[in-house]
Amino acid sequence: MVQRVAVIGAGVSGLASVKCCLDEGLEPTCFERSEDIGGVWRYTDSMDGSRVSVYRSVITNTSKEMSCFSDFPCPEDFPSFLPHGLLLEYFRMYAQHFNLLRHIHFKTTALSVRKRPDFTTSGQWEVVTETNGIQESHVFDAVMVCTGHYQEPYLPLACFPGIDTRFKGQYLHSQEYKDMEAFRGKRVLVVGVGNTGGDLSVELSRVAAKVFLSAKSSTWVFSRVSDHGFPFDMVNTTRLNHFLNWLLPSALTKRIMFRKLNSWFNHANYGLASTKSSNFRVIINEELPFCLLSGTVVLKPNVKEFTESSAVFEDGTTEENIDVVLFATGYSFSFPFLEESVRSLFDDNRSLYKRIFPPQLEKQTLAIIGLVQLTGSVMVGAEMQARWVTGIFAGWNKLPPASRMMADILKKKPLAKRNPSERENLKISFISYTDEIASCAGVKPNVLRLLLTDPRLALAVFFGPCTPYQYRLVGRGKWSGARDAILTQWQRTLKPLRTRVVDDSSDGWPWMCLLALPVALMAGFLLSKYPHPGWRPWAGPHL
């Protein structure tokens, strides 16, 4: 029986794991190599290459209501999108409220995690740690690895001939970026147009002589500010939209999305993306379109090669006098402390059952938490993973046999790889994945049942944002404040904006809710009658 659990890392996933262990009556011991909690969200000016942290100006891409822990809402006076300092303050409040810090060993590095000689019967692990140069060995019944996917900078220099042989300027990875002052007056090339590349291009355009942004793939740009000024994720990440995406052909939903995004600005005119794009990425950035429109950022295709002072692009154009090349090319992940026989069981997170468990282990006492990139907040996904995992460790939940786990993994793996980056491999639909893990844990809300017992709450759950509180309505870990948190989520969203109040009494929500009732009933009926995600009404019965 699992009792003592090692938690490696005290970032978001580690904090949630420690708390979930305590909820299940387990004894967690968390090892954090730095001196504080927060993981990548704890900004420091230090250039310590062994630690990845956010840059000074970073602000969350997901709103506070969609990103908080499921039984601990963010303070109502916090803005919807949090600078890293406020997010770290929220983590401290969470850790203090649930008394988590006493279970964390700071400045302690996990050197190795190895199976005990009797692992096939005990499932136990030997964990060797180091604190202030002193090594210590521990025995644990289970291990939760919470080091995340921002571990090692991915710097593909081989893909850019001349960068490390001919180019005389400076090049660096975005991990080394702290603020814009070091780039004042310089001509900067940013390689990579993900969220980080977009953010840094916009920021650098305020001080650099010129900023060029090199994009390899088609890129669609979202704004965090949606219709009527509400947070984008609260408006769009709803069970209604999830149901429509499940119901409608993917080609149609993609066309609707492209049309919506082009209504903000025509992406083809800006050289970002075409509606004919088959492979594309989505980023969040409100300012990038204006920077492109004003010429402070110039979009360029993929780099072909570098000369001593210039960059040659695949379309044959050249930009001269480049001072700095900033690679926003993401991160790779590895687990050097795990013994090789365990690491070899999974090459990426798609080889893990539900992106968590290596199915080939004789005893399922190792869980990888937070190694998943969702279309929503990873905090919510990591907490849900931790709830399910600790329920398994405590004996409340059960895993299927290894053969069934392997079959599930093979079914979900793509038939052919098209050389995607590791981070692209991680992306999954937020509601699909969180609901899947919640179903395994027995905490997924039943909309149809709610319609019969609490119609007001059911409408908020189905038509409103899929906030984390929904997963505290039923099952183990049920929270008495979940209903109220759901029904007051919009008030907490608007509260920090009420610094100057104007009179506007118009409100169409009651009428919308009345019209929504039959739609919700039909959706609940279809989802209960045809639960399989591959089913489509026009395709006939799914065999």
Lowest mean pLDDT among 108-122, 165-179, 227-241, 425-439: 425-439
| 323 burial type by CB count under 10 A (0-12 exposed, 13-18 middle, 19+ buried) | middle
pLDDT digits (tens, 9 = 90+) for 19-31: 999 999 999 999 9
Residue 35 predicted with pLDDT over 50: yes
Q: What is the average pLDDT across 169-180?
A: 95
pLDDT digits (tens, 9 = 90+) for 521-534: 556 555 555 544 44
pLDDT digits (tens, 9 = 90+) for 5-19: 999 999 999 999 999
pLDDT of residue 385: 98
Residue 512 predicted with pLDDT over 90: no
pLDDT of residue 45: 85
Domain boundaries, the chain: 4-151+333-412, 153-330
Ramachandran area for residue 358 (φ above 0: left; ψ -120 to 50: alpha; else beta): beta
Residue 56 predicted with pLDDT over 60: yes
- 3-class DSSP state for residue 292? helix
pLDDT of residue 543: 31
In the chain, the percentage of residues whose pLDDT exceeds 70 is: 90
Residue 163 predicted with pLDDT over 50: yes
Which CATH entry fits the domain spanning 153-330: 3.90.1530.30, 3.50.50.60, 3.40.50.300, 3.30.420.40? 3.50.50.60
Residue with tokens 């699992």: 2
The reply to whether domains 4-151+333-412 and 153-330 share a CATH topology is yes
CA distance linking residue 303 with residue 207, whole number of Å: 23
368 neighbors 342 (Cβ within 8 angstroms):
no
Q: What is the average pLDDT across 324-339?
A: 94
Residue 158 predicted with pLDDT over 70: yes
pLDDT of residue 540: 35
Residue 119 predicted with pLDDT over 60: yes
- 3-class DSSP state for residue 14? helix
| Residue 419: band (very low, low, confident or very high) from pLDDT cuts 50, 70, 90 | very low
Q: Which two tokens stand for residue 45?
A: 């000016």
pLDDT digits (tens, 9 = 90+) for 211-259: 999 999 999 999 999 989 999 999 999 999 999 999 999 999 999 999 9
Contacts of 446 by beta carbon, 8 Å cutoff, 6+ apart: 474
Minimal CA–CA distance to 345: which of 389, 409, 433, 425? Answer: 409
Element (H, E) at 210: strand 210-214
| Residue 409: band (very low, low, confident or very high) from pLDDT cuts 50, 70, 90 | very high
Across the chain, mean pLDDT equals: 91
| Residue 334: band (very low, low, confident or very high) from pLDDT cuts 50, 70, 90 | confident
pLDDT of residue 501: 86
| Residue 401: band (very low, low, confident or very high) from pLDDT cuts 50, 70, 90 | very high
Q: How far is CA 136 from CA 91, 143, 224, 365, in A?
A: 29, 16, 46, 21
Q: What is the DSSP letter of 231?
A: B
pLDDT of residue 521: 57
pLDDT digits (tens, 9 = 90+) for 363-372: 999 999 999 9
pLDDT of residue 519: 58
pLDDT of residue 392: 98
Residue with tokens 């739609």: 519
Residue 172 predicted with pLDDT over 90: yes
pLDDT of residue 2: 85
Lowest mean pLDDT among 46-55, 213-222, 423-432: 423-432
| Residue 47: band (very low, low, confident or very high) from pLDDT cuts 50, 70, 90 | confident
pLDDT digits (tens, 9 = 90+) for 253-290: 999 999 999 999 999 999 999 998 888 899 999 999 99
Residue 423 predicted with pLDDT over 50: no
pLDDT of residue 413: 77
CATH architecture type of domain 4-151+333-412: 3-Layer(bba) Sandwich (3.50)
